[in-house]
Amino acid sequence: MANLGTSTLLIALLLNVYCISMAFFGAKKDLRSAVLSARNANYLVTFSLLIAVCVLVAAFLQHDFSIIYVAEHSNLAMPRIYTWVAFYAGNEGSLLFVAFALSLMSSISLSMIPRRVGVLSPYTNGVISVIILFFIVVLISLANPFSAQDLIPVDGKGINPLLTHPGMFIHPPMIMTGLISISVPFSLAMAGLISGQINDDWVDIGRVWGLVAWVLLAIGLLLGSWWAYTILGWGGYWAWDPVENAAFMPWLGLTAFIHSIMVQKRRGMFRMWNIALINISFALGAFGIFINRGGPVPSVHSFGASTLGWVFLLFLAVSTIISFGLFFYRMSLLKGSTSLESALSRETAFLVNNLFLLAIAFFTLWGVVFPIISEITTGETITVGEPYYNQVNGPLMLGLICLMGIGPLLPWRKSNLSQVNRILIVPLVSTTIVVIAISLLFQITKPIVIIGIAVSTLAAISVFQEWIRGTKARQSSTGRNYLLAFCDLILANRPRYGGYIVHIAIIMLAFGILGSSFYNSEKDVFLAIGESTEIEDYSIEFTGIRTEIFPDRTERIADLKITKGDNELGSIGAWQGIYPSFSMLSTRAAIRSTPIEDLYVIFSETQPDGKTAAFRILVNPLVWWMWLSGPFVILGTIVALWPARKRTII
C-alpha cells in the first residue's frame, strides 16, 4: 500500500513536469498540439493524485499501521465514519488533500476557459501547474503520507478528540480548498501578465473562480465558528485566533476583488487595481497555508503541527516577489482608458469598499505577525488579543456595512449632492424610524450597538428597496403577478441580485454578532444532583450523570431540566469525553437554540463525590441568525454564479 501510494505521487510529479514544459512551450510557439498535450497531462495529474487519495483512505479503512501516518492518526477503535477526517488530520494527509484539490480545481477551470482567451489558457495551465508542482515535491521529499515503518504497531494512536465533531467533515476541506482555489484567478491574472495579453477576456472566468474560492472560505469560516462554539467550551465562536485570521484575511481580499472586478466588467476600470487585488489575495492565501500548516503561531484550530514552516515561507516569498515583479513590469499595459468621474458614484463606493476591506486585512495581519516580530527583535513574547482586533476592525466593519447600504443606491459614473440626497432620503428616514423603535422596545442604550443596528438596517432597507422597485417595474412592463415578476428580476440579473442575497446574509451575521457580543449573560456554578440555578428567565436543574464506556473513551452526560417561567422546555445533556490515550478531556456544549437566544451549558468537571458538577451557563442572544446566514451565503453565491442565457448587465 505504501509503495503504491508513493509511486502514484512520483507519476504525478513526472506528468506535472511534462505539463509545465508543454504548456509554456506550446504558448510560446503557438503550437496547439503542445497546448492540448499539456492540458491532457494536467487531467492525468489530477487522476494520479486521486489514486493517491484513494490509496491513503483505503489504508485507513484497512488499519494499515505499517504506514506511519495511518498509525499516528487512527486506531482500531476509531469509527469508520471518521476515516475522512483522519485523512487530513495531520500535515502529510492535509497536504495531499491540498495538492489533489488544487489539481482538481485546475482541471475543472481549464475545461471551462473559453477559446476567446487564446494564449491565456496554456499560460494559466503552466502557472497553476507550477503551484501544484510545489506541493507534490513537498509531499515526496518532506511530508510523504505513505512513509512506512519496519516495526508495525498492534494499534494506532487514534484521532484527535477535537476532530470527532460533525463540523470537521466539512470545515477543514472548505478552508483548505478555499485557500488553494485562489490559485485559479491568480493564475489567470499571471497568464495575462506573462503573455502581455492585458485585456478583459479573463474577467468573467476570473470572477467565477474568485466567487468559488470566496464562498468556500466563507462557509469554512462559519463552520469553524460553529465548531469552536460547540466544542471548545468557552461560549464564544470567534477569538481572532491566528488560524481563523489566516483564512479570514484572503477572504477579505477576495471580497474586494469580486466587487472591484464588476466595475472592470461594466466600465473597463480598475484593471491595474484588480491584478493587484488578486496578487494580494493569493499572497494572503499562501500566508494562511504557512500559518495553518507550518507557521510559528500556536492556535486551537491548528491540528497539523510540523517543521515545514520554512518551506511555506519560501513559497510565500518567491510567489509574492514574482507576481508583483510581473505586475510592475507590465504596469504600463494595465492602465485603463477611463477614470473616476465623480466622488459621488457607485465606482467610488466600490473603491472605498475595497480600501476598508484591505485595511481590515492589514490590521488583522499586523496582529498576527507582531508577536513574531516582537520575539525576533526583542526576545519578548507578546500576545495580541481580542481587544486589539475589536477596537481597530470594529469601526471599519461598521463602515463597510454602511457602504453596503449606500453604494448600491448610487448611480454609475457621476451624480451630485442633491441627487444623492433624493436617493438616500427614504432609506435614511426609514432607518431612523426602525432604529428608534428597536431601541425603545428593547431598551438599547449602548451607542456602538445603536450604530450597528442603524448601519445594518440601512443596508437591509437598501436591498429591499432595490428589490421592490425592480419588481414593480418588471410587473408593470410584463403584466405578471408580483411573485413571478420578482423571480424574473433575479433571473434577469443574477450577479447583482445574488450579491444582494449575500448582503442579507452579512446583515444576519451582523445582528447575531451584536446580540451575542453585547447582551450575553454568563454564570459559573457548582450543582449537586437535584439542585437548580437561575439565569435570565431560565431555571436549570441538574438531574444526574450518565456514563458510557467505549474502547477509546469514557463519556459522561450531565442531564439538565430546563424551565422558563412556568413553561417546562424539556431536558438537554451536556457532554464530556475522557480520552486516556491523549490525556484529554473533551467537552461538547448542550445548546437550546431559538431565533431569540441560545441557552448554552458546558459540563466543566465533576467533584470527587460524583454527585456534584461544575457548569458554565450562558444566554447568548441572536446567535441562531449567524448560523442561518450560511444557507443565504450559499444561495446568493449559487444565484450569482448560475449561467445566464443571455448577456446581463451588472
Per-residue confidence band for 295, with pLDDT thresholds at 50, 70 and 90: low
Instruction: Please measure the distance between the N-terminal and C-terminal CA atoms of the chain and give it in whole angstroms.
Output: 52
pLDDT in tens, 39-59: 999 999 999 999 999 999 999
Asked whether residue 77 falls in the same domain as residue 207, the answer is no
User: Quick one: angle between helices 271-293 and 171-181, nearest 10?
Assistant: 140
pLDDT for 2 equals 87
Per-residue pLDDT for 304 more than 80? no
Of the residues 465, 487, 516, the one at which a domain ends: 516
Whether residues 315 and 329 fall in one domain: yes
Are residues 141 and 214 part of one domain?
Answer: no
**Per DSSP, what are the bridge partners of residue 539?**
534, 563
What is d(CA 41, CA 145) in angstroms, rounded to the nearest whole number?
24
Q: How many domains does the chain have?
A: 4
Match 450560511 to its residue by C-alpha cell: 630
| Residue 112, strand partner residues | none
Q: Residue 168 gets which letter from DSSP?
A: G
Q: Is 424 domain-assigned?
A: yes
Query: Tens of pLDDT along 355-366?
Result: 999 999 999 999
In this structure, the answer to whether residues 615 and 547 fall within a common structural domain is yes
Are 405 and 424 contained in the same domain?
no
Domain end marker among 396, 411, 426: 411
| Residue whose C-alpha is closest to residue 308's, from 142, 93, 68 | 142
In a domain, 25, yes or no: yes
Whether 612 maps to a domain, the answer reads yes
Q: Indicate the pTM of the whole model.
A: 0.93
Considering the domain boundaries, does residue 178 fall inside one?
Answer: no
Confidence band (pLDDT; 50, 70, 90) for 296? Answer: low
For residue 305, the enclosing domain spans: 185-336+343-411
Q: Is residue 629 part of a domain?
A: no
**Within a domain: residue 647?**
no
Domain co-membership, 390 together with 294: yes
| pLDDT > 70 in the chain, percent | 96
Q: Which residue, of 359, 378, 411, is where some domain finishes?
A: 411
The pLDDT of residue 320 is 96
Task: Say if residue 311 is in the same domain as residue 459.
Answer: no
pLDDT score of 645 more than 70: no
Q: What's at 520, amino acid-wise?
A: N
User: Are residue 263 and residue 400 in the same domain, yes or no?
Assistant: yes
Instruction: Say which amino acid occupies 517.
Output: S
15 and 40 co-located in one domain: yes
52 in a domain, yes or no?
yes
Q: What is the pLDDT of residues 561-614, one digit of tens each?
A: 999 988 999 999 999 999 888 888 889 999 999 999 999 999 988 888 878 999
Phi, psi of 547 (to 5 degrees): -125, 130
For residues 221 and 368, membership in a common domain is answered with yes
Q: What is the C-alpha separation between 215 and 212, in angstroms, rounded? A: 5
Confidence of residue 115 (pLDDT cuts 50, 70, 90): low
Q: Same domain, yes or no, for 291 and 384?
A: yes
Encode pLDDT of 481-540 as tens digits. 888 888 888 888 888 899 999 999 999 999 999 999 999 999 999 999 999 999 999 999
Q: pLDDT of 156-187, one tens digit each? A: 988 888 888 888 899 999 999 999 999 999 99
Pairing of strands 532-535, 538-549: antiparallel
- Taking the C-alpha atoms of residue 73 and residue 305, their distance in angstroms, rounded to an integer, is 13
In a domain, 650, yes or no: no
| Alpha-carbon separation of residue 38 from 21, 31, 55 (angstroms) | 8, 11, 26
Whether residue 526 is found in the same domain as residue 507 = no
Angstrom distances, CA of residue 52 to CA of 5, 49, 91, 281, 540: 5, 5, 15, 29, 51
In one-letter notation, the amino acid at residue 77 is A
